[in-house]
Chain A
């Protein structure tokens, strides 16, 4: 199985800051990488697929980049509603596995 490793595990930043999280795959997954946002008590929400394609209605302050084994999710101008846990997940082949998540908080 492909191991997905996210860093950092938690992050605290101020409103308006630019933040970035990374996701590393244990083998080449080309660009078959999703990012999800999950708020407490809710199902995950798809933000980005194919490593960099923004899902419809996701604010443009979210940006995904990377290929191969190294990927990044960045948020420009952090907003209070961005407080959540963010997960990466590959879909190169089964089983589709997730990273352990990055918990984002506001200072």
Chain B
């Protein structure tokens, strides 16, 4: 069965960077893209961007351009999301998610979430 397992929670200081991993199993990693989303505590969901599991192509939401980098290691079927220049309002649960078949943007499979806390 398809599984996405994320790395553990992180506490970072303002201005630092955080890198979250998402290890995929149960399917061919290169066949699908991985999206990253986040949810500020008590608030809604926000799409941050995606990375192709095949060729590493990326597309980032405009508000994260220049601060986010998404990469993928096909040898370990792991996707990574690095967010730099952290601010207190980046405190959120970060999720990776995979599409439902050919439906791009229909997220059937989700990681368990990684809480990133930004605090001085």
* Complex: A107 Cα to B74 Cα, angstroms: 49
Q: Is B110 a contact of A91 with CB atoms below 8 Å?
A: no
Query: Which chain A positions have C-beta within 8 A of B46?
Result: 98
Min Cβ gap A64→B in Å is 13
Q: Is B45 a contact of A89 with CB atoms below 8 Å?
A: yes
Query: Which chain B positions have C-beta within 8 A of A101?
Result: 44
* Complex: A34 Cα to B104 Cα, angstroms: 11
For chain B, the count of residues having a C-beta within 8 Å of the partner chain is: 21
Chain A CB within 8 A of B105 CB: yes
Q: Is the interface of B mostly helix, strand, loop or mixed?
A: strand
Q: Is B45 a contact of A87 with CB atoms below 8 Å?
A: yes
Min Cβ gap B7→A in Å is 15
Min Cβ gap A46→B in Å is 5
Q: Is B110 a contact of A43 with CB atoms below 8 Å?
A: yes
* B29-72 Cβ-contact flags toward A at 8 Å (1 or 0): 00000000000000111110000000000010110000000000
**Contact A46 B59, CB 8 Å, known A95-B47, A98-B44, A101-B44:** no
* B85-112 Cβ-contact flags toward A at 8 Å (1 or 0): 0000000000101001001111110111
- 30 CB contacts below 8 A, A to B, read A34-B105, A36-B45, A36-B107, A43-B97, A43-B111, A43-B113, A44-B45, A44-B95, A44-B107, A44-B110, A45-B110, A46-B100, A46-B106, A49-B106, A50-B103, A87-B44, A87-B45, A90-B105, A91-B104, A91-B105, A94-B47, A94-B59, A94-B61, A95-B61, A96-B105, A97-B47, A98-B44, A99-B44, A100-B43, A101-B44
